[in-house]
Amino acid sequence: MRDVLEVQGISVTEIADRFQTPLFLYDGDILKRQITNVRKAFHPSLEIFYSLKANPNISVYGLLHSLGANAECSSLAELTTALRCGTSGNGIIFVGPGKTEQELEACIRNGVYAIICESFGEMERIHAIAKSLGKTQDIALRINPAFSVKGSRLTMGGKPRQFGIDETHAIELAATMQQQFPHARIKGIQIYSGTRILAWEEVLANTVRILDLAEQCAAKGGFSLEMVDIGGGLGVPYFDDESRLDLEKLGVEMNPALEKFHVAHPQTRLIMELGRYLSAECGMLLSRVQYVKDSMGETFAITDGGTNCHMAAVGVGSFVKRNFPIKNACDWNGTPEKAFHVTGPLCTPNDVVGKAVKLPPILQGDLIAVLNSGAYGPTASPVNFLSFGFPSEVLVHNGEAFLIRERDFPQDMLRKQNLISFKGVNNEHHYREYETGASKRFEAAISQ
């Protein structure tokens, strides 16, 4: 008897048959669990802003927003997503080292709570745009601290970086810049210095340093401290040798520091930006095994969704030295019997999602589930390689499966391309027939 993986009581085979593979499947209960646990663990003065970059699907953010998360955005599409979910300007911050005039203008017109300003050049630009619109925009200086964050798998500060303003520059120049650019009003700081931190001690140490630095910057830089964004970087375990961040312990140890800061600065908004911690564990990539074959003594399970859908599964740390948790979803609890290389459909030997993964026997047509895949999945992957396009996304919410993003079809990949006229090449008639047929087939499949 093969024991099939389920999400909220619905078998993943049913979902895959209905929506086709490859697909990303999200469990809304896990999203709910994560945001609820985070809000419960920390001092009530700490507000959680969801980093849409981790998973920008509008229903993923919508669910988190309905449970109290606000939005940290880094692009116009993310900003639009937050606004479409009804987030007020007060609940949006906008981050990123290369903000364009168009992005800044959209932030200012929509009254975002703070643009996280990453250079004095950017501050000048914000000032000019705000002035031309007859407004003043609040900003927080992103500080590149002199210290580097401990315990992070990817450090973003504490060394020469394109992110933020060096601590010394910020302290020395903030007052002068504020005088020069009054339409960009400095009201606090943000520090985001690393990601995938699993040790509560490191998060605590970083937070204490950030709160201390915030006070120093404001005092020496001559601005009021209406907000401090302490970043976050909380990680989830992906690999066998990693253990879960002790969130409860982190809360117990960190809350006195937050309380102390809150008492000293009762009007200051405290913000934590979280992406991965909220969304990673809710998701899995489901791909269907097209072929199982042996080559020179090793066995390959070749699926329809590889690194084009899920680069993060191989791009974190080092190239598939360690595997994400991978299961045969059609034999979920079966005893691992054999090592399979789980590969995708790309024409490159690097298209390996899992190397020598011990799995129960795999049959053609089985579903492979790559777990912990709700963050930095398709949006952080080369989904357009070989023109496959974006996979489907399905959210199970209150026991029901919803298609929250339709996969790309060939016509989607071609929609924005222009075929200029070459002798004997145009064949619009056949193409139209094909396009209509493909849409109808998918619509028929999902309406079953």
Ligand X SMILES: Cc1ncc(COP(=O)(O)O)c(C=O)c1O
Binding site for ligand X (CB under 6 A): 51, 53-54, 72, 95, 192, 195, 232-233, 273-277, 375
CA-to-CA distance for 66 and 82, rounded, in angstroms? 12
Q: Report d(CA 440, CA 193) in Å as an integer.
A: 48
Nearer to ligand X, 5 or 211 (CB): 211
- Give the nearer residue to ligand X in terms of CB position, either 18 or 32: 32
Distances (CA, A) of 175 to 29, 164, 221: 47, 17, 5
Residues 348, 270: contact at Cβ < 8 Å?
no
Please identify the residue of the shown chain whose CB is closest to the bound ligand X: 275
Q: Would you say 199 or 386 has its CB closer to ligand X?
A: 199
Residue number, 72 or 331, with CB nearest to ligand X: 72
Structure tokens belonging to residue 208: 């204490």
How near is the Cβ of 271 to ligand X at its closest, in Å?
11
DSSP code for 447: T
Rounded CA gap, 25 and 286, in Å? Answer: 7
Phi first, then psi: what are they for 219, rounded to 5°?
Answer: -65, -50
Nearest residue (CB) to ligand X, 20 versus 74: 74
Contact in structure between 235 and 244 (CB atoms under 8 Å): no
Residue 345 has φ and ψ, to the nearest 5°, of -95, 5
Output the smallest distance, CB 394 to ligand X, in A.
Answer: 22
* Nearest to ligand X of 377, 389 (CB atom): 377
Determine contact, residues 284/373, Cβ cutoff 8 Å. Answer: yes
Contact 329, 362 (CB under 8 A): no
Rg (the chain; Cα; Å): 24
Instruction: Single out the residue of 158, 164, 149 nearest to residue 95, CA to CA.
Output: 164
For ligand X, give the closer residue by CB, 5 or 274: 274
Q: Tell me how far, at minimum, the Cβ of 327 lies from ligand X, in Å.
A: 24
CB of 279 to ligand X, least distance (A): 8
Structure tokens at 223: 């601005």
CB atoms within 10 A of CB 334: 16
Q: How far is the CB of 74 from ligand X (least distance, A)?
A: 7
SS3 at position 419: coil
CB of 85 to ligand X, least distance (A): 18
| Nearer to ligand X among residue 193 and residue 268 (C-beta) | 193
Q: How far is the CB of 270 from ligand X (least distance, A)?
A: 15
Do residues 296 and 370 make contact, with C-beta atoms less than 8 angstroms apart? no
* Nearest-approach distance from CB 374 to ligand X, in angstroms: 11
- Tell me how crowded residue 77 is: count the other CB atoms within 10 A of its CB: 13
CB of 50 to ligand X, least distance (A): 9
Using the minimum distance from each CB to ligand X, give the nearer residue, 186 or 197.
Answer: 197
